[in-house]
Amino acid sequence: MSVYDRLQEAVAAIARATGRDRHDAAVVLGSGLSDYARGLEGAVEVPYRAIPHFPVPKVEGHAGELYSVPFPDGNVLVLAGRVHAYEGWDLDDVVFAVRAAASSGCRRVVLTNAAGGVADGLAPGDLVVIRDHLNLTGRNPLVGPNDDRLGPRFPDLSAAYSPQLRATFAEVFADAGVHHREGVYAWMLGPSYETPAEIQMVARAGGDLVGMSTVPETIALRHMGVDVGAISLVTNLAAGISPTPLSHQEVTETATRAKARITAVLDALLPRLMRL
């Protein structure tokens, strides 16, 4: 079955399970951030396993849930739980949930993630709006025959991260009283963290952040003509910059500590996503 046909089945199942035919914007919650959707008023929760073709994350804690959240100007899909290329998934699976969001009507998608800080001055807990990316994996979700129903063979990525959404993020951060900066996110395959030499390479190549997600989703969404915004939570200093060895525990602990600030930002952001 083609990706396109799988998407049609997923879209129909999302409409049926949420009772809402259309969603206007989506947010993907990254590592350690996936609790956010639980408390949202009017949210309808659907487990990924109830939606045909959705990849179900195997990692501890989060089986993957989609939330449909109503706002005065439209409905937002919140995707809590994503799958990563380093788990061995095909990139078609890695990007399936965001493609399904786009196919359900979402014209704007905000991706969040946990990342290592590479640029000078970054500290764990910082929030960084992604301005551009470096794909250092040599992998791309669009490799293979192109389906023109999804998008063009050679999509343009010269403004991969929507300038308009970046401007909105700046306003939202200001309103929420949360400091932020902008940076370039480098996608590494993982699952091992980088070596200090790799981080030096990333820094010299212009990378400010390093992480194992987001870029394939951005590429697949731009292919479909969707506006993408992305926000990284710096959970640790990158290898060789950090004085201590890297650990997944540090990543999740920093995410937990940043929860209140991230909640304030997302609370301010979600209702505005349909108003741009």
180 is catalytic: no
Closest CA to 214 of 131, 123, 105: 131
Site for ligand HPA in 25-84 (CB under 6 A): none
Rounded least distance, CB 185 to ligand HPA, Å: 10
Q: CB of 91: closest distance to ligand HPA in angstroms?
A: 17
Measured in whole angstroms, the distance separating CA 194 from the mean position of its chain's CA atoms is: 20
Q: Does 116 bind ligand HPA (CB under 6 A)?
A: yes
Closest to ligand HPA by CB, 210 vs 226, is: 210
232 is catalytic: no
Decide if 146 is catalytic: no
Nearest in space to 35 (alpha carbons), one of 65, 77, 75, 58: 65
Catalytic residue among 37, 85, 188, 212: 212
Check if the beta carbon of residue 85 is closer than 8 Å to that of residue 139: yes
Half-sphere exposure of 195 (CA within 13 A, CB side): 3
Residue 164 structure tokens: 């308009």
Asked whether position 233 contacts ligand HPA by CB under 6 A, the answer is no
251 touching ligand HPA, by CB under 6 A: yes
Contacts of 198 (CB under 8 A, 6+ apart): 188, 239
Active site residue 212: yes
Stretch that binds ligand HPA, among 50-58, 72-80, 125-133, 234-242 (CB under 6 A): 234-242
Tell me the number of residues near ligand HPA by CB under 6 A.
Answer: 14
Distance from C-alpha of 177 to C-alpha of 171, rounded to nearest angstrom:
10
Residues that bind ligand HPA (CB under 6 A): 114-116, 188, 193-194, 210-212, 235-236, 238, 246, 251
